[in-house]
Amino acid sequence: MNSTDENSAAPGPDFLRHDTAPATAAVEGYLEHDAAVYRTLLESTKAIPWKIDWATMQFAYIGPQIEALLGWTPASWKTVQDWAARMHPDDRDKVVNFCVAQSKAGTDHEADYRALTSKGEYVWLRDVVHVVRDARGEVESLVGFMFDISERKKTEEKLAELQRELEALSFQDGLTGVGNRRQFDAVLHREWSAAKHLGAPLSLVMVDVDFFKSYNDYYGHVQGDACLKRIAAVLSAAVRPGDFVGRFGGEEFVLVLPNTGAEAARQVAERCRDRISAADIAHERSPFRQTVTASFGVGTMIPSEAADPIAFVNLVDSQLYLAKDNGRDCIAAVNRAG
């Protein structure tokens, strides 16, 4: 028992003693190695790491990749003023104000902008920012990455341009190149609203190519298409800047004349009629000199709350049919502008 008791006695102080020096050195060596690995990883990527001290607004670090991208040495990035000064003037205020506000609120955020290179060119960058807080919850620093998004922006711009082209095509008559019915509806709505707001007159001219079915029957549809293209070109050349020319459907065209009174609208119609006659497009089946002619319906009004644009179109359309009933190659007009 005695020997057992002696063997089982409580451990002495030697058991509790630790030789900390070798362990501490090992940990420090590991941490130094670990930091070196992380630094190597960060500096070998295309993403450019950086850190800004919030209290001093100075760069604590920025990756060496910045020099290869923008031409500015890491040592030249001293404060946030260097960051702001190397930003495109058109982007600066918006981006700086946004980033400062988000950072003060402690909110992680992203910002796209054009950064100036040492050669005077611009590169699109995206800053991805993380806000670091201290134990009291106060902003301590900002850390983040800069990414070169120039190629992405080029792709976005190409897609936007394609979108604009598709939109333009969706408003264009495929045969004649003038506006289509969809664009006419949009233009009429826009100009109607503007005229109502200003109390200004708005005029509409509807044009119908005379005896066009006979033209197609005699010359064929290919030649008929060519005829419509010529009529569209004549009308486009006859109107004023700001006027709209569109194909209403078939052999009918429509003109929208903003801020145009009844007399001026009739003069536009007369000019279009004269120029179609002067184009001297052969039409063997036409009783009018065997050339292509057109009939015109003209209407003018000052839009009001009680008026309706669809009713206005119907009114002008009725004038077109009146012109055709009166023998074609003429103009019928109505003035509701008061």
Residue numbers annotated as active site: 251
- What does the alpha-carbon distance between residue 312 and residue 285 come to, in Å, rounded to a whole number? 33
| Total number of residues shown for the chain | 338
By three-state DSSP, how is residue 286 classified?
Answer: coil
- What does the alpha-carbon distance between residue 172 and residue 174 come to, in Å, rounded to a whole number? 6
Strands of 157-209, DSSP E: 202-209
- What does the alpha-carbon distance between residue 142 and residue 133 come to, in Å, rounded to a whole number? 9
Nearest residue to 205 (alpha-carbon basis) of 251, 249, 244: 244
The structure tokens 């044009």 sit at 207
Measuring CA to CA, how many Å separate 32 from each of 23, 26, 27, 29, 38? 14, 10, 9, 5, 10
End-to-end CA distance of the chain: 128
β-sheet with 139-148: strand ranges across: 58-62, 48-53, 139-148, 122-133, 109-116
Instruction: Please say whether the beta carbons of 152 and 112 come within 8 A.
Output: no
Under DSSP, the state recorded for 87 is B
Nearest residue to 143 (alpha-carbon basis) of 45, 234, 222, 59: 59
